[in-house]
Amino acid sequence: MEVRRVTIIGLGLIGGSLGLALKKARPELEIVGIDIHRETIDTGVLTKAIDWGTTQIAEGVKDADVVFLATLVKTMPGLLKEAVPFLKPGTIVTDVGSTKSRLVSRLTELLPPGIFYVGGHPMAGAETRGIDGADPHLFENAVYVLTPVAETAPRALSSLTELLQTIGARVLYMSPVEHDAIVAAVSHLPHLTAAALVNAVARREEEVPGTFQLAAGGFRDATRIAESAPDMWQDIFLENKEALLPVIRTYRQAIAELEQAVAGDDRERLYRLLQEAQEKRRQIPLKQKGLLPGIHEIIVTVPDRPGEIGKLAALLGIHGINIMDIEILRIREGDGGTIRVGFGTGEEASEALRVFQKNDYPAWLKH
């Protein structure tokens, strides 16, 4: 099947990034955007994420070869139901939802014969929301899971796979149930525990004022994803609760083991548990983009002079390098300080390192 027109319903971070990535890889494609906000559509056109857009489903899906549902999961069935009467025979419908089992069942039931659905989940993300954070490189080397079922048309699966591979995604196939079980452990649980950790320390702050003032890089790194959108994650947790609840119980057991070892002064057991975690952690692939938004960090030392941090930021701005996060690690009067600077991509971090070193700032990548 030849894909000429792609319609994206929902021009947020993922929808906008899809438009930018597809246009970059396949300039001849016509990319149509649908969004409830006219200003978002205008931004999409201005940034060249879409060729044109509309707030009307019927107008936007007409003659589309592929339709991406890139909205909150809870809104997808209603949007597809509205779109179905206007889809041409042979259209491929897919989604970018973080949960699959319930969604695949609901969306499949809505489609008449001749319209093909393939469940999807791009395992790439960022803390930013909206089309202003869209990135044409978001899917490069990122795992993109497709969840075919018995009813999935092989030709539709093949066509969608080829399209996604053009934007640099690494396409994997798995069942909806398998997908939900895996993401419950490696994506949903970390978001939930990050929120719990922040809330726990916040309660501790009430008992011991000043606790948050000592929360440095390690705490920030461990809880960074707690800044993600509450409305989106509320829906994800509830939508995938059948898979998430058993993982939460497993996590509680792991915490209980550590607690018991500490309470019992069991040094041998505590060491074994920590060593086991260390060894398992090292098995996680370094290069592959995954479910959690990544951050690439550089440590740089600066002289003890007013305005040095501003000079660093300005230097990167001149070279078009965007800073995702910045933190002062240490300052010694007369000796200068150490700064941690975070970037959204490895390419930006590498370029920033080159810029720093070229301008005589001692700097190195944090591993």
- Name, in order, each residue with C-beta under 8 angstroms of 233's C-beta and a sequence gap of 6 or more: 191, 195
**CA atoms of 278 and 270, how far apart (whole Å):** 12
Q: Say if residue 200's pLDDT is above 80.
A: yes
Give the DSSP H or E segment for 241. Answer: helix 241-263
pTM: 0.74
Least confident of 74-78, 82-86, 130-134, 154-158: 130-134
Percent of the chain having pLDDT more than 90?
A: 61
Domain 178-281: assigned CATH number: 1.10.3660.10
What is the b/e burial string over 119-150, where b = at least 16 CB atoms within 10 angstroms of the residue's CB? bbbbbbbbbbeebebbbbbbbbebbbbbbbee
pLDDT band at 334 (very low <50, low <70, confident <90, very high): very low
| Structural domain boundaries in the chain | 5-174, 178-281, 296-365
108-166 pLDDT, tens digit each:
999 999 999 999 999 886 656 789 888 898 898 788 999 999 889 999 999 999 999 99
Q: Say if residue 81's pLDDT is above 90.
A: yes
Mean pLDDT of 79-107: 96
Least confident of 16-20, 27-31, 363-367: 363-367
Fold of 5-174: Rossmann fold (3.40.50)
Q: Which residue from 337, 324, 350, 352 is spatially nearest to 126, judged by alpha carbons?
A: 324
Q: Looking at domain 296-365, does it have CATH number 3.50.50.60? A: no
Domains 5-174 and 178-281 share a fold: no
